[in-house]
């Protein structure tokens, strides 16, 4: 199950790449610099789009690493442009895709240490359900909403991505 959830997170990041393409098309059609959208936010007291992208990526790479018993790679949060956001997504996808299903054996019971809870640990199953899944979807949904708020033509199917639907 853990491997499959990481694979789903990878698919979600691939959807985010499509949203970036749509943001570029929107900016080109409206004749403005797409990088303006990278700092856009829904309200003054929230983080901007680029933060949502890097945070979603961070949770995916952390889940892949920690649930497999590894330390996540460090990626400095220096992204400012759409090209840098795309590179961050691609780097995260490549890392998560490098994980093999066998590496997640025992993930449910594995004790996970997270940097923002010094001296504390959480079981892998709880880490995935209580921290990773809600945070990945929170940051992806917020990024999606920022783009929608700014007129980018993304819809529910862009959020869901490829569905494995077959004829009845």
pLDDT in tens, 8-36: 999 999 999 999 999 999 999 999 999 99
> What rounded mean pLDDT belongs to the chain?
96
Q: Evaluate if residue 133 carries a pLDDT over 90.
A: yes
pTM of the model: 0.94
Domain ranges of the chain: 2-160
Q: What is the pLDDT of residues 40-83, one digit of tens each?
A: 999 999 999 999 999 999 999 999 999 999 999 999 999 999 99
For residue 54 the two structure tokens come to 């890097």
pLDDT at residue 116 is higher than 90: no
Structure tokens, 76: 């400095």
CB 122 within 8 A of CB 130: yes
User: What's the half-sphere exposure (Cβ side, CA atoms, 13 Å) at 115?
Assistant: 7
Residue 91: predicted pLDDT: 97
If you ran DSSP here, which 8-state letter would residue 111 be given?
Answer: E
Q: Percentage of the chain with pLDDT > 70?
A: 100
Residue 148: CB atoms within 10 A of its CB come to 16
Is the distance from CB of 89 to CB of 83 less than 8 angstroms? Answer: no
Query: Could you tell me the fold of the domain covering 2-160?
Result: 1.20.120
Residues 104, 110: Cα–Cα separation, whole Å: 9
């Amino acid at each position: 199950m853990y491997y499959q959830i990481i694979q789903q997170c990878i698919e979600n990041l691939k959807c985010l790449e499509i949203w970036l393409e749509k943001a570029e098309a929107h900016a080109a059609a409206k004749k403005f610099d797409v990088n303006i959208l990278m700092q856009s936010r829904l309200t003054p007291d929230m983080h901007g789009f680029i933060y949502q992208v890097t945070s979603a990526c961070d949770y995916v790479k952390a889940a892949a690493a920690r649930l497999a018993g590894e330390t996540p790679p460090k990626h400095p949060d220096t992204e400012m442009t759409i090209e840098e956001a795309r590179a961050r997504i691609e780097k995260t996808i490549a890392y998560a895709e490098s994980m093999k299903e066998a590496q997640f054996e025992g993930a449910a019971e594995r004790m996970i240490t997270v940097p923002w809870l010094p001296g504390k640990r959480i079981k892998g199953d709880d880490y995935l359900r209580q921290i990773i899944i809600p945070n990945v979807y929170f940051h992806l949904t917020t990024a999606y909403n920022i783009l929608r708020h700014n007129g980018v033509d993304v819809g529910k199917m862009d959020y869901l991505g490829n569905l494995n639907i077959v004829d009845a």
